[in-house]
Amino acid sequence: MIICFGIVALLSCNSDKDKKAEPENPATTTANTPTDLPYKASYTSNWTTDVSDADLKTVLQSYKDWADGNMTALETAFADTVDVEMNSGDHLHNSKGDLMKFWGTYRDSLSSVTIDMEAWHKMYATDKKEGYIITWYKETDTYKTGKVDSARYHDINQVKDGKIVWYSQYKRPLK
């Protein structure tokens, strides 16, 4: 009997040790981040995925509205003023009305847009209290002239109060 009790006690101690050794969820803590990294993040390294599904839907719907050419619906995704970093390197700080005119002229030159949304990721900067939706996709544009252009994109959409307030786009043309 004493031997059985001893074995049970030993196993329960080992079981507690195993529980303590389990790593915490890296999406919610930086406790496991090595301290000897060669760089310190200048913006933040404190991220979770705590961004609402409603914000995710707003961002993804904006891509669908662009592909469908529905500029009126696209406009609803953006805040009154938007900062845009375009893949050309240009930076815009415009009202959403001016932005829609600018983008509308370009979208009007296209007969169709096809988007293959490959992946997205929700990111929340806990120390900045800012939500982002990161997207990776392939877009194929067919111009009214018949020219076809395709590229892979990586975008960062900052969402605040359910609206996109900042948008940054990176492009790699496909050949």
- Give the count of domains, the chain: 1
Least confident residue range of 21-25, 42-46, 133-137, 157-161: 21-25
| Within a domain: 55 | yes
Give me the percent of the chain exceeding a pLDDT of 70.
81
List the CATH number of the domain containing 142: 3.10.450.50
Confidence of residue 35 (pLDDT cuts 50, 70, 90): confident
pLDDT at residue 89, as a whole number: 95
Return all residues near 125 (Cβ < 8 A) that are at least 6 apart: 43, 44, 46, 47, 131, 132
Q: Quick check: 95 and 80 in contact, CB under 8 A?
A: yes
pLDDT at residue 32, as a whole number: 67
Q: Supply the mean pLDDT for the chain.
A: 87
Strands 148-160 and 110-125, bridge-based pairing: unpaired
What is the residue range of 108's domain? 47-173
Q: Enter the pTM of the model.
A: 0.80
| Within a domain: 157 | yes
| Within a domain: 28 | no
pLDDT at residue 130, as a whole number: 97
Enter the DSSP assignment of 40.
-
CA separation for the pair 122, 81 (Å, rounded): 22
pLDDT at residue 154, as a whole number: 98
pLDDT beyond 70 at 4: no
Nearest to 135 by CA among 114, 103, 111, 158: 158
pLDDT beyond 50 at 3: no
Return all residues near 158 (Cβ < 8 A) that are at least 6 apart: 130, 131, 132, 164, 165, 166, 167
pLDDT at residue 34, as a whole number: 78
Q: Quick check: 113 and 140 in contact, CB under 8 A?
A: yes
Enter the DSSP assignment of 23.
P
Q: How many CB atoms lie within 10 A of CB 77?
A: 23
Phi first, then psi, for residue 92 (nearest 5°) are: -120, 145
| Within a domain: 4 | no
pLDDT beyond 50 at 19: no
